[in-house]
Amino acid sequence: MVRVKRGVSANKRRKKVIKAAKGYKWSRKSKYIAAKQALMKAWSYAYRDRKVKKRVKRQLWQVQINAACRENGTTYSKFIAGLKKNAIELDRKILSQLAKENNNLFIKIVEKVKA
Label each residue of the chain as H, E or C: CCCCCCHHHHHHHHHHHHHHCCCCCHHHHCCHHHHHHHHHHHHHHHHHHHHHHHHHHHHHHHHHHHHHHHHCCCCHHHHHHHHHHCCCCCCHHHHHHHHHHCHHHHHHHHHHHHC
Find the CATH number of the domain harbouring 48. 1.10.1900.20
Total tally of structural domains belonging to the chain: 1
Residue 1: band (very low, low, confident or very high) from pLDDT cuts 50, 70, 90: confident
In a domain, 93, yes or no: yes
Query: Is 3 a domain residue?
Result: no
- In this predicted structure, the answer to whether residue 50 has a pLDDT above a threshold of 90 is yes
Whole-angstrom distance, CA of residue 110 vs CA of residue 115? 9
- Dump pLDDT digits (tens) for 52-98: 999 999 999 999 999 999 999 999 999 999 999 999 999 999 999 99
pLDDT of 115 strictly over 90: no
Does some domain include residue 99? Answer: yes
Q: What is the structure's pLDDT at 110?
A: 96
* 1 found inside a domain: no
Query: Do the domain assignments include residue 85?
Result: yes
Determine the structural domain holding residue 29 and report its residue range. 8-114
**Domain annotation covers residue 101:** yes
CA distance 41 to 21: 11
- The answer to which of 4-8, 20-24, 49-53, 57-61 has the lowest mean pLDDT is 4-8
Does residue 16 lie within any of the structural domains? yes
Task: Give me the amino acid identity at 60.
Answer: L
Please report whether residue 54 resides in a domain.
Answer: yes
